[in-house]
Amino acid sequence: MLSNLEQQPADALLALIKLHGEDPRADKIDLGVGVYRTGQGATPVFGAIKAAEQKLVDTQDSKSYLGPEGDMGFVHALMPYIFGQDDPAKGGRIEGMQTPGGTGAVRLTVALAKRAGVGRIIMGLPSWPNHAQILGDLAVELVSFKHAGTDGKVDMDALRAAISGGQSGDAIMLHGCCHNPTGIDYSNAQWDEIAALIAAKGLLPILDLAYQGLGAGLEEDAYGVRKVLDAVPEALIAYSCDKNFGMYRDRVGAIYVMAENSEVLGRVLTNGFALARAAWSMPPDHGGAAVRLILEDPGLTAMWLDELDTMRTRISQVRAKLAAAGQAGSIDLTPLGHQNGLFSVLPLSSEQIQTLRSDHGIYMAGSGRVNIAGLTAGNIDKFIADLAVVSG
Ligand code: PMP
């Protein structure tokens, strides 16, 4: 039977990590994989996480099973940050469960939506490639629209048309902030309009918040999610702590459900538990427990907020430097200054991307997506100069 399986392509980004690793050039630049890097090019464990992990080692007295919902202390501790200090559970209409990373959360939002009868999900492209893969794997139809124009701005007309073409039983997937891959986010005024349009059309919003705190700030980055939740009766939210706590490999995430009332909410969650049980039984505990220990301790919370702020500030400084460079050959870098988060897409051809890799040791995804945090004071000038040469 197994020989029936066809060869699948390697994950393009993971293949890129390997290629970069094998490149002997000392001045090579990795703009591929989506992790934060310091000005020295490192992706260190947060100090707050180290301290929480030590506390966990010292105090954890059992590794016995939890339930499919995971660590509910973790799930609840995050809620004020996502939904606001003022009634984060919206009078008992929001509850969550822990998931293996944001990926597990996205998968569960789509699986739950499908169980509820959703057959199509409206989503802007380009998007995080795994969104479409998850939809494909769960046999939910993707109805796509163009997220942004060549001017580096959100294509609001395309979004309006996609929403107005929505049918009963459709959901819409939106990035809460720091759009991956474009970095092109909705303004607050655009979120106001989007929330009203979604509510008027009766679409089920699925909001993916994987980078809270890496854009304009923790509160600012939650604007869209909160605005949509204020406008609609029900929604699904996928959350990742893997970037804003630097926990990538520890797989820390959560799904939140907002239902029209607590009775429906309870029923939705039992479906979430059943789906989780059949897929991964329960999420890995360690990372969620460490995040909970941070959020339960004001000193560690302050330390985490400070580290998050350092990340956010560095990303925006690199963006400002790129924007200030203006034109690099045929590439206008100025829009990168007002884009958000780790990523932006450069309008390069595949040949140009290939030449940057082979002739200049600059590694980026085949889509032209660059990880802004891969740029440092030591390599940014070379990057801009090489970009100018190649895009000439
Ligand atoms: N959603 C988006 C938009 C992402 O970019 C990512 C991570 N690249 C995720 C979800 C999943 O995050 P995690 O690593 O926590 O699975």
pLDDT in tens, 149-162: 988 899 999 999 99
pLDDT at 275: 98
Residue nearest to atom 2 of ligand 1 (CA): 210
Residue 343, strand partner residues? 371
Ligand 1 centre to CA of 202 (Å) is: 26
User: What domains sit in the chain, N to C, each tagged with a CATH number?
Assistant: 2-45+313-391 (3.90.1150.10), 65-296 (3.40.640.10)
In the predicted model, is pLDDT for residue 252 greater than 90? yes
Ligand 1 centroid, distance to 79 Cα (angstroms): 19
Q: Model confidence at 262, in pLDDT bands (50, 70, 90)?
A: very high
Q: From atom 8 of ligand 1, which residue's Cα is the shortest distance away?
A: 34
Q: What HEC string does the chain produce?
A: CHHHCCCCCCCHHHHHHHHHHHCCCCCCEECCCCCCCCCCCCCCCCHHHHHHHHHHHHHCCCCCCCCCCCCHHHHHHHHHHHHCCCCCCCCCCEEEEEEEHHHHHHHHHHHHHHHCCCCEEEEEECCCHHHHHHHHHCCCEEEEEECECCCCCECHHHHHHHHHCCCCCEEEEEECCCCCCCCCCCCHHHHHHHHHHHHHHCCEEEEEECCCCCCCCHHHHCHHHHHHHHHCCCEEEEEECCCCCCCHHHCEEEEEEECCCHHHHHHHHHHHHHHHHHHCCCCCCHHHHHHHHHHHCHHHHHHHHHHHHHHHHHHHHHHHHHHHHCEECCEECHHHHHCCCCEEECCCCHHHHHHHHHHHCEECCCCCEEEHHHCCCCCHHHHHHHHHHHHC
Q: How far apart are CA 81 and CA 213, in angstroms?
A: 10
| 17-72: pLDDT as tens digits | 899 999 999 999 999 989 999 999 999 999 999 999 999 999 999 999 999 999 99
Specify the DSSP element, H or E, that contains 267: helix 262-279
Token output for 41: 């090019």
Confidence of residue 15 (pLDDT cuts 50, 70, 90): confident
Percentage of the chain lying above the pLDDT 90 cut: 96
Give me the catalytic one of 30, 71, 155, 208: 208
Q: Ligand 1 atom closest to Cα of 251?
A: 15
| pTM of the full structure | 0.97
Strand pairing category for 331-332 and 327-328: antiparallel
101 Cβ below 6 A of ligand 1: yes
pLDDT at residue number 273: 98
The vertex-258 CA angle with 255 and 262, nearest 5°, equals: 120
pLDDT band, residue 392 (cuts 50/70/90): confident
Q: Is the dihedral of CA 276, 271, 118, 157 positive or negative?
A: negative
pLDDT digits (tens, 9 = 90+) for 80-139: 999 999 999 999 999 999 999 999 999 999 999 999 999 999 999 999 999 999 999 999
